[in-house]
Amino acid sequence: MEKGRIIIVDDNRSVLSALELLLENEFSDVKYLSGPKELPGLLKSGDIDVILLDMNFRAGINTGNEGIFWLREILKSDPDISVVMITAYGDVELAVKAMREGAVDFILKPWENEKLVATLKSALKLRKSRKEVNRLRSEQKSLKSTISGSHHKSIIGSSSEVTNMMRIVEKVAATDAAVLITGENGTGKDLVANEIHRRSKRRNEVMISVDMGAITETLFESELFGHVKGSFTDAREDRAGKIEAANGGTLCLDEIGNLSLSLQVKLLNALESMRITRVGSNMPIPVNIRLISITNRNIDKMVSEGLFREDLLYRINTIHIEVPPLRDRKSDIPAISEFYLNKYRDKYAKPGLKMNSQTLDALTGYDWPGNIRELQHTIEKAVILSEGNVIKPEDLMLNYSSGKVFERSQMTLEDIEKNMILNTLKETRGNKSATAEKLGITRQKLYNRLKKYGL
């Protein structure tokens, strides 16, 4: 039997009796009312899932006005309740009006038993889906509030490169245009995405980030679109996907360049229709999202090589923002260094720690192939290793990586990234969780890199 609290409201006693016989073996909790006047008291309990509501409650009156009135009252109390209308008159315009007012479906008298039961079960699933989405959104808002109360990471810098980029951010944030953010690893692309959301009209809603590089082919649809109970072996309950959870807010697709062509098609279909269908369901769910995509790959080159769909690129790339590498904005290095020095001074209880002018010269003179992430890692290490109250240039250890001179001209970006991972693994004694945290990436991203480099 389906679990959920359902209320049937109809002034015809014979209708209520027939429905009681039909539904007693289908649902665990069904209450039958001969009129709507008890509804306000019941609605206060807050645990009603579905209401099957008659559109007319007085003999000889078939306008449906009373049904529309009570539909509005119900949705005022709880906008997420699934209300199904029932009428004997088959008035299509009346049914359409009820749907526009917020009803999820309607039933005509005399009804078909199977169709009525199926409609109520679909309405119950929709209600559970909405509750799940609200729970996810509540968790995201709580997390967002917690983060904003701690060290707020924002875009630091006043260089012309950052100023020009922020002008674009300011303009695009006020719209719902799709944004593609590109740039080298460690440049802070995620911070730019957060800034766009923070300045947008959706800033009071959630921003759901999805690491596309960490989603396997088999779990892609379940993660993004959700699933219903029993749709596959481990689907023990209905679950909303990331796109549905982002409804009303912003969806950020990180590492979108890692998607296979087959998954690109599925994503494109969802983005073009702005509807998703959970795995195992045939009920499309409309969504309203603002899309931000992130990648460190050359998507235009991937399109020319047949590795990325051109139509998907057009869909995600209304506005393109390139995040500049740190070597092109060296005037921002002192401010960024000071930000991380403050952070790690607090973390490691070294309140009097400072950097001297020689240390700042060393920081600004370095090319930072790992960008801001490498700078952050370097400052943290220097804070830990420093003796006394001054960080000296030698505390930065900029010239060495794996015991070798760190010459950018002699190494590729992949070589540098590989060495950074190896060094951090040594520092954490092979602890992958700690390594991922120090590098500022997820565990799954770390595993992907380890596999890539054969480590």
* CA dist., res. 253 & res. 296, Å (int): 12
Give the start-to-end residue ranges of the domains of the chain.
2-130, 151-322, 326-452
Q: What is the pLDDT of residue 137?
A: 65
The torsion angles phi and psi of 273, rounded to 5 degrees, stand at: -90, -15
Classify domain 151-322 by CATH number.
Answer: 3.40.50.300
Q: What is the pLDDT along the chain (455 residues), one digit of tens a residue?
A: 678 889 999 988 899 999 999 998 888 889 999 888 888 888 887 788 999 998 876 654 555 578 889 999 999 888 889 999 988 765 667 777 888 889 998 888 889 999 999 999 999 988 887 887 777 666 655 555 443 433 445 789 999 999 999 999 999 999 999 999 999 999 999 999 999 999 999 998 889 999 988 888 888 988 999 888 888 877 777 888 899 989 999 999 999 999 999 999 999 999 999 999 998 888 888 999 999 999 999 999 999 999 999 999 999 999 999 999 999 999 999 999 999 999 999 998 998 899 999 999 999 999 999 999 999 999 998 998 888 899 988 888 885 343 333 443 445 667 777 878 888 888 887 888 888 888 878 888 888 888 887 77
> Matching CATH topology for 2-130 and 151-322?
yes
Distance CA 27, CA 4 (A): 7
Instruction: Give the separation between CA 172 and CA 296, rounded to whole angstroms.
Output: 20
Residue pair 53/86 in contact (Cβ under 8 Å)? The answer is: yes
Q: What CA–CA distance (Å, rounded) separates 141 from 362?
A: 41
Residues with Cβ within 8 Å of residue 361, at least 6 apart in sequence: 393
What CATH fold (topology level) applies to the domain 326-452? Helicase, Ruva Protein; domain 3 (1.10.8)
> What are 41-48's contacts with CB under 8 Å, separation 24+?
42/7, 43/74, 43/77, 43/78, 44/77, 46/78, 47/5, 48/5, 48/6, 48/7, 48/78, 48/81
At residue 149, the pLDDT reads: 39
Q: At what angle do helices 357-365 and 333-347 cross, to 10 degrees?
A: 120
Is 286 within 8 Å of 274 (Cβ atoms)?
A: yes
pTM of this structure: 0.62
> Is the Cβ–Cβ distance between 344 and 379 less than 8 Å?
yes
Longest dimension (CA), the chain: 92
Identify the CATH assignment for 2-130 out of 3.40.50.300, 3.30.1300.10, 3.40.50.2300, 3.40.640.10. 3.40.50.2300
